[in-house]
A = this chain, B = another copy of it.
Amino acid sequence: MSAIHQNVSTSLSASTSTFLAHNNLKSLKPSHVSVAGRLSAVVKCVATPSAEKTGASFLSLFNHFSILTVGAAFDEAYNTNVARNENLAKLQAGYLFPEIARRRNAHIAKNPDAKVISLGIGDTTEPIPEVITSAMSKRSEVLSTVSGYSGYGAEQGEQKLRAAIASTYYSGLGIEENDIFVSDGAKSDISRLQVLFGSNVTMAVQDPSYPVNILCFILFLLASLLSAANELLYRAYVDSSVILGQTGLFQKDVEKYANIEYMRCTPENGFFPDLSTVGRTDIIFFCSPNNPTGSAASREQLTKLVQFAKENGSIIVYDSAYAMYVSDDSPRSIFEIPGAKEVALEVSSFSKYAGFTGVRLGWTAIPKELHYSDGFPVAKDFNRIVCTCFNGASNIAQAGGLACVSPEGIKAMHEVVGFYKENTAIIVDTFDSLGFKVYGGKNAPYVWVHFPGRSSWDVFSEILEKTHVVTTPGSGFGPGGEGFVRVSAFGHRENVLEACRRFKELYK
């Protein structure tokens, strides 16, 4: 019996709806209950209960009703008259990771004894430092005490955490605690940013780039493809039927989608786009250190990007989720670039610093200086989005976040990051020693290995079949990733070493 029905006494079997409990039927007046679907199936049921009847006799009525309903369902399913959201109806399914999973599973089925190692999806594998988990554990425990209990928190995050994030990651950069919006992770915040900007914006993304970001934005941008095509300042001609039809989201023979400016990042341009060929968009989505290429943009490059945004009046959505992996003097934050606060906001996360992929905690920093064309501060609208459509990150996760940015937590995060960077070095050295051109790795937990002239999926399959190691085909991140494979450094050390041993075996 279900928990919430515990006050309802009934002798009917649990497989019947609890609405048939005898004491419930008194409220059903004798009447015709006509339940008709306007569009397809029509279900008509005549129920004439009286208060004297027993539960058992109503069970037979119920069965009659059920049969009628089920009968109708067999004839033709009922459909509401609500039109499916056309944006969703036209969006192709996400392709990359499901396809990898499909191939991985097929491989395991074919090779049941193989020890498959996954260096594919960028999911953390190492435990969360104890100094951080103990803070979350303690916060959980005090929630069972009168003095330690707390209910709704501020939607923007706990003030102490906002202040600590500002001072830890943006010291001296003019970002203050009220510019920080604590979130349940970057993916959710990117979705809230879409709601913020609405459907009439144009956007640019790096090519290659992480597919989810593109997917998220496309949901909203498809609307403007249909309704605001005239307003697009730059548009490579691609028939909208190709985009909105049955062709899939990352179709290899299409290099650019209308309304989305693909900024090609290749070894030739140092993985930084040639901005002279990039059209003006409202939003520029830029991830550095980059997933998947592992490259971090230099100070000079980011200065150019900020200048480009300023000349165009664009807003940069800067994803700095891998900033702590930077080893050289590349900026850790876009706000290190003078003037960036007027053209950029920054999304970040504890996921890859403290193993918080499952705990869910991140933040978005929006400077007061960032304004829409009418002078209205972007942060003010984002604050409203957060207050209306979010209720704050879990208080327990926030206690973990506060521990992350304590002196011991920062040290512990650097150890986590350091561990994955050692993995990265092992992978880089391996492919280096085999004569491959290897990119990334230095400032990010991703190694971007070049297989010139070969199809990414072919290489992916070759590696999977011959070494039982799952990687990610570069073309899954966009046409600019063709010919590359991404090897993730998230893995237990023994698995990384074993994978590299197998790579050496395959490509020696």
Question: Do A372 and B79 have beta carbons less than 8 Å apart?
Answer: yes
- Whole-angstrom CA separation of A410 from B6 in the bound complex: 10
Select which of B66, B153, B376, B391 is within 8 A of A89 by beta carbon.
Answer: B376
Q: Is the CB of B73 within 8 A of A5?
A: no
Q: What is the CA–CA distance of A141 and B202 in the complex, to the nearest angstrom?
A: 45
Between A and B, 20 residue pairs with Cβ closer than 8 Å are A2-B172, A4-B323, A80-B313, A82-B313, A82-B315, A83-B372, A83-B374, A85-B196, A89-B374, A94-B388, A124-B151, A125-B149, A125-B151, A127-B148, A134-B144, A140-B396, A184-B393, A188-B391, A360-B394, A394-B394
CB atoms of A38 and B312 under 8 A apart: yes
Contact B200 A83 (CB under 8 A): yes
Report the separation of the CA atoms of residues A326 and B393 in the bound assembly, to the nearest whole angstrom.
29
In the complex, A387 has a CB within 8 A of chain B = yes
**Chain A 142-158 near chain B by CB (<8 Å), digits 1 or 0:** 01111011111100000
A4's contact among B80, B86, B326, B329, by CB below 8 Å, is which?
Answer: B326
* Size bracket, chain A contacts: 35 or more
CB distance from A272 to the nearest CB of B (A): 12
CB distance from A143 to the nearest CB of B (A): 5
A283 to B80: give the CA distance in the assembly, Å.
Answer: 10
Query: For the complex, is A46 an interface residue (Cβ under 8 Å from B)?
Result: no
- Digitize A125-137: 1 where CB-to-B-CB distance is under 8 Å, 0 elsewhere: 1111110111011
| B interface footprint on A28-46 (CB within 8 Å = 1, 0 otherwise) | 1100011111110001010
The 4 A-B pairs with the shortest beta carbon distances in the complex, nearest first, are: A81-B313, A191-B389, A85-B198, A84-B372
Q: Which of A13-21, A103-111, A477-485 forms contacts with chain B?
A: A13-21
Tell me, in angstroms, the Cα distance from A17 to B299 when the chains sit together: 12
Contact A3–B168 (Cβ < 8 Å) = yes
Which residues from B are CB-within-8-Å of A133? 140-141, 143-144
Q: How would residues 384 to 425 of chain A score, 1 for a CB under 8 Å from any chain B CB and 0 otherwise?
A: 110111111111110010000100001001100000000000
A1 at interface (Cβ–Cβ under 8 A)?
A: yes
Which of A79, A327, A371, A405 has the most chain B CB atoms closer than 10 A to its own CB?
A79
B79–A307 CB distance below 8 A: no
Q: How far is the CB of A319 from chain B (nearest CB, A)?
A: 14
| Cα distance, A68 to B323, chains bound together (Å) | 29
Please tell me which stretch of A331-339, A463-471, A497-505 contacts chain B, meaning at least 4 of its Cβ atoms lie within 8 angstroms of it: A331-339
